[in-house]
């Protein structure tokens, strides 16, 4: 198959992308400890994969309170900002663009990770949900533990979180990023506010759909005013319900949010789509409705083949396509797609969350 659309350049808010491939955000837990500081190993990893037109980094906590998994990087200290500069410099030298994904996990955390009780819209424990720490006694492998029951956020907590997103976005620009992506997906804090089963509040942040999208809109507005709407994207996951997030109203809620984000003229919506074999497929009518509701860039990520990606682009339903695991194991993934070359597979599942080593991280070979 000829991938005419995948290899077309694209103008993303003034960022000229060399192709439509997006390296999707993937948590890898390689930051330097203590301090969750990005480092030269991470710079090597991202530079290797800068054949993508756009890189969206792994989820990055906006505060210690927002941290849910061990050794994930932050963007709230000067040391972290300086560490991220290594990554942005390395990516730019290889001709790609890079956005930082900003993260607050909400109730998906444990005091064993950050020493703090999780915060959430409501005091509801996420059932069958775990996070991980690293146990040196077990050889440094990731050890999964249950999340803690969260504290319901008060108005000051909400105000603080909005401020933390704003400051983190400013820090990202200082670190050299082209923009940021607000993580509003996959069962984390903003997604918890969006869903009726995790948000049982009776104030202006809960109850109706209009109230449940309020935090998302307020964060998006505050961040876009701080760094520019042309530097602000959002990730949403309407069809993903793990982490105890099954909400029968979510599709209507997401579409209402999309209208609000369109009114803010936000740069893009990034759809995180389920990537397991028997996952629900996103209906075409949802894509059409989203396209008609949100006028700017739409990104779709979710275990798509190049053929599926090309078809979505050709039909005009999306503008960019995110690839995760294929970039994880194939630093030169676009080159392999163009040449119909074989792909590397994950060599060791234990190295996905490697805790700090190059094994299964920077040691995947390129064919170029």
Q: How confident is the model at residue 261 (pLDDT cuts 50, 70, 90)?
A: very high
The predicted structure's pLDDT at residue 278: 59
Domain 10-351 has CATH 3.40.50.2300: no
CB of 325 within 8 A of CB of 343? no
Residues with a known catalytic role: 188
Looking at residue 14, what is its pLDDT? 97
Which of 281, 288, 366, 353 lies closest to 327, judged by CA? 366
Q: Percentage of residues in the chain with pLDDT exceeding 90? A: 91
How does DSSP assign 22-91, residue by residue? EE--------BTTTTB--HHHHHHHHHTTTSSEEEPPPEESSSTT--STT--BSSSHHHHHHHHHHHHHH
Which pLDDT score, from 0 to 100, does residue 33 have?
Answer: 94
Cβ atoms 187, 147 nearer than 8 A: no
Provide the pLDDT confidence category of residue 135 given band limits of 50, 70 and 90.
confident
pLDDT at 141: 81
Give the pLDDT confidence of 90-114 residue by residue, as tens digits. 999 999 999 999 999 999 999 999 9
Report the C-alpha gap between 368 and 363 in whole angstroms. 14
C-alpha–C-alpha distance, residues 237 and 182, integer Å: 12
Average pLDDT of the chain to the nearest whole number: 95
Of the pLDDT bands very low, low, confident and very high (cuts 50, 70, 90), residue 59 is very high
0.95 cut: is pTM over it?
yes
Which letter does DSSP use for residue 293 in this model? Answer: H
- The pLDDT score that the predictor gives to residue 276 is 66
Task: Flag whether pLDDT at 138 surpasses 60.
Answer: no
């Amino acid at each position: 198959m000829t991938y005419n659309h995948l290899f077309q350049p694209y103008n993303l808010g003034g960022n000229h992308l060399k192709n439509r491939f997006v390296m999707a955000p993937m948590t890898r837990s390689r930051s330097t400890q203590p301090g969750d500081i990005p480092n030269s190993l991470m710079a090597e990893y991202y530079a290797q994969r800068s054949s993508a037109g756009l890189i969206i980094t792994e989820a990055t906590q906006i505060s210690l309170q927002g941290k849910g998994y061990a050794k994930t990087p932050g963007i709230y200290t000067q040391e972290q900002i300086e560490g991220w500069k290594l990554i942005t410099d390395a990516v730019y030298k290889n001709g790609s663009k890079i956005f930082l994904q900003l993260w607050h996990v909400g109730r998906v955390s444990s005091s064993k990770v950050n020493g703090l009780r999780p915060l959430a819209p409501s005091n509801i424990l996420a059932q069958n949900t775990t996070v991980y720490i690293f146990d040196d006694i077990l050889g440094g492998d990731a050890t999964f533990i249950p999340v803690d029951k969260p504290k319901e956020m008060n108005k000051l907590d909400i105000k603080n979180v909005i401020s933390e997103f704003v400051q983190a976005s400013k820090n990202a620009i200082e670190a050299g990023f082209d923009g940021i992506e607000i993580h509003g997906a996959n069962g984390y804090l903003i997604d918890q506010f969006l869903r009726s089963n995790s948000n049982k509040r009776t104030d202006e942040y809960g109850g109706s759909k209009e109230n449940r999208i309020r935090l998302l809109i307020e964060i998006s507005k505050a961040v876009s005013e701080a760094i520019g709407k042309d530097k602000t994207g959002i990730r949403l996951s309407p069809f993903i319900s793990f982490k105890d997030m099954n909400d029968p109203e979510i599709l209507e809620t997401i579409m209402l949010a999309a209208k609000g984000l369109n009114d803010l003229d936000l740069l893009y919506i990034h759809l995180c789509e389920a990537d397991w074999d028997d996952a629900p497929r996103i209906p075409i009518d949802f894509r059409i409705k989203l396209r008609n509701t949100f006028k700017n860039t739409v990104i779709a990520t979710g275990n798509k083949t190049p053929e599926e990606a090309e078809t979505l682009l050709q039909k005009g339903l999306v503008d960019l396509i995110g690839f995760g695991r294929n970039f994880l194991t194939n630093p030169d993934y676009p080159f392999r797609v163009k040449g119909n070359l074989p792909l590397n597979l994950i060599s060791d599942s234990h190295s996905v969350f490697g805790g700090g080593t190059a094994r299964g991280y920077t040691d995947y070979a390129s064919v170029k």
